[in-house]
């Protein structure tokens, strides 16, 4: 952000897609302070209820990965003062940004449509982490999907939409440039990355 000339204090809203560590820990700076001191932090209501539920946390005790995730989510979101606004699917979280139900990866996992005039982009979040595997084979399961069946159903629904709308898709974990179009390929899909244009 510094390289792009963006002051973290100028950020007025941070919209979390789901509450996995790699998607929330950046709300704190390396020195432990709040990274975006003037921002409203927004979290999907369904994910918030899942991760803050004591019964769910107790069930996760036997799974080291999930146990660590529960501890992390609760610590990070309490460290920032617990001032988190919850948002619902199907509504705008900010002007032009609509939250979509893409649950499965986590119970409240959310993707976004960002629209401005005639332009539109889909932020898929973690519908797929590795497109080379899970777009090609959308029914394969990955250990990070909390409900693997639901995650697979979501992949089909989301990528059918992206392919038919010829929409530009952003994937947080996709290889550079993390931006491309989705097309159907056999029983699955493939990502056609956009060409990098250093002028843009």
Contact 198, 192 (CB under 8 A): no
CB of 16 vs Zn ion, minimal distance in Å: 11
Please say which residue, 20 or 46, places its beta carbon nearer to Zn ion. 20
Number of residues that bind Zn ion (CB under 5 A): 2
User: Cβ-closest residue to Zn ion?
Assistant: 20
In the window 100-139, what residues touch Zn ion (CB under 5 A)? 126
Q: Decide whether 149 or 164 has the Cβ nearer to Zn ion.
A: 149
Alpha-carbon span 113 to 136, nearest angstrom: 23
Distances (CA, A) of 185 to 102, 114, 189: 21, 26, 5
C-alpha–C-alpha distance, residues 13 and 4, integer Å = 18
Q: Judge whether 8 and 1 are in contact, CB under 8 Å.
A: yes
Q: Which is nearer to Zn ion, 22 or 198 (CB)?
A: 22
Shortest separation between residue 73's beta carbon and Zn ion, angstroms: 11
| Smallest distance, Zn ion to C-beta of residue 20, A | 4
> Which CB, 47 or 126, lies closer to Zn ion?
126
* Residue 144 CB, nearest approach to Zn ion (Å): 6
DSSP 196: P
Torsion region of 82: left, alpha or beta (phi above 0 gives left; psi -120 to 50 gives alpha) = left
In which residue are the tokens 């946390």 written?
57
> Minimal CA–CA distance to 111: which of 96, 97, 125, 128?
125
Taking the least distance from each CB to Zn ion, the nearer of 74 and 96 is: 74
Stretch that binds Zn ion, among 15-23, 47-55, 84-92, 131-139 (CB under 5 A): 15-23
Please report how close the Cβ of residue 18 comes to Zn ion at its closest, in angstroms.
6
Query: Least CB distance from residue 109 to Zn ion, whole Å?
Result: 7
Q: Which of residues 19-58 bind Zn ion (CB under 5 A)?
A: 20
Kind of pairing, strands 179-185 and 188-193? antiparallel
- ω into residue 177 within 30 of 0, thus cis? yes
Measured from the CB atom, is 107 or 198 closer to Zn ion?
107
For binding to Zn ion (CB under 5 A), which residues are involved? Answer: 20, 126
């Amino acid at each position: 952000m510094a390289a792009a000339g963006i002051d973290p204090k100028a950020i007025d809203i941070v919209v979390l897609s789901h509450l996995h560590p790699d998607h929330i820990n950046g709300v704190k700076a390396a020195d432990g302070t709040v990274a975006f001191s003037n921002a409203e932090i927004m979290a999907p209501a369904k994910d918030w209820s899942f991760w803050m539920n004591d019964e769910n946390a107790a069930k996760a005790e036997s799974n080291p990965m999930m146990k660590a995730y529960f501890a992390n989510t609760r610590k990070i979101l309490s460290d920032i003062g617990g001032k988190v606004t919850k948002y619902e699917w199907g509504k705008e979280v900010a002007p032009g940004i609509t939250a979509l139900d893409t649950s499965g990866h986590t119970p409240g996992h959310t993707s976004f449509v960002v629209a401005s005039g005639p332009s539109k982009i889909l932020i898929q979040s973690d519908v797929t982490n590795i497109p080379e595997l899970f777009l090609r084979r959308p029914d394969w399961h990955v250990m990070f999907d909390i409900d693997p069946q639901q995650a697979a159903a979501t992949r089909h629904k989301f990528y059918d939409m992206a392919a038919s709308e010829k929409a530009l898709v952003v994937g947080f974990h996709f290889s550079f440039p993390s931006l491309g179009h989705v097309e159907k390929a056999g029983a699955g899909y493939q990502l056609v990355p956009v060409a990098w244009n250093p002028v843009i």
